[in-house]
Amino acid sequence: MTTFAFVFPGQGAQSVGMLDAWGDHPAVLATLKEASDALNEDVGELIRQGPKEALALTTNTQPVMLVAAVAAYRAWRHEGGAQPAVVAGHSLGEYSALVASGVLTLAQAAPLVRFRAAAMQEAVPVGVGAMAAILGMPAAQVIAGCAEAQATFPFESKEVVEAVNFNDAAQTVIAGSKAAVDKACEVLKANGAKRAMLLSVSAPFHSSLMKPAADKLALKLADTVFGAGQIPLINNIDVTAETDAQRIRDALYRQAFGPVRWVECVQAIKARGILNVVECGPGKVLAGMTKRIDAEMTGWAVYDTASLNEVKGQMA
């Protein structure tokens, strides 16, 4: 079988009924039951019925995206799909990758990501922070533009805007306080960005404003027992594959308020001689990014039975 990597999406691809296309697949049903037991609520009902506004709440979005991604991975393995050579996850998706690799069980990960989500929302109330996607501008110029925008505020104002998601060569996401993000969008468009698009999110994820949330998460991680991973996992914050439990904890802690270095993660996958990247879970965003990051690489997506069979055929 062709050597390939599996990657897992973060927030943004959730939708009501996103697991319906799997029907009554036993691996998907078992995953929903395990997560529901761990969270003491019917996760399947939340995904099937929503409403959309409920799924959009960070405290729900993070667990349901974890569950949807793990369900797709388990369906792949149940149907005879081979084990990937390496895994990675974008932002929240790193927790799905940890489950796939065997470092965490789903029963551990589901409550952990819900705790993470609640801590993030508490750290910055809705409306105080913001995120925006900057398109058509190299990352270095986005970083410089953020510094330019932040410098327009008095130091004591504590306004902050930072580059937080390096998604591909022409797409970088910024985050921080609402006023500073708005100013940065203005500056970056004036400096040549094709678009500066505010994102519909409830908190400035991966910015330094998430440090209080990360400190709470660190206490939770300290009590979490990590297993020995069966598959190398390239993390977001350092773009390294850690095996030591304490180093994994530290990377997850820093990831909460540090940037997602996705371009480098994909490059690290290629450096292992892997050219096929399979996105596992709702949507095809990471599959598209793969091709834009490196034209020699191919991005696939597994999100229902039909796509699973197609990808399995291609990887054979």
Using CA atoms, how far residue 149 sits from 156, 177, 188, 213, in Å, is 15, 12, 9, 25
Q: Are strands 195-198 and 161-168 parallel, antiparallel or unpaired?
A: unpaired
Q: Helix, strand, coil shares of the chain as percentages rounded to 5?
A: 50, 15, 35
Residues 6+ apart with CB under 8 A from 40: none
Longest distance between any two alpha carbons in the chain, whole Å:
59
For the question of residue 91 being annotated catalytic, the response is yes
Report long-range pairs for 292-298 (Cβ below 8 Å, ≥24 apart).
292/168, 292/169, 292/170, 292/171, 293/168, 293/169, 293/262, 293/263, 293/266, 293/267, 294/266, 294/267, 294/270, 296/270, 297/266, 297/269, 297/270
Element (H, E) at 48: helix 43-49
- Quick check: is 78 catalytic? no
**Residue 305: exposure state from Cβ atoms within 10 A (0-12, 13-18, ≥19):** middle
Half-sphere exposure of 210 (CA within 13 A, CB side): 30
Query: Which of the following is catalytic: 25, 90, 91, 177?
Result: 91
Positions annotated as catalytic residues are: 91, 206
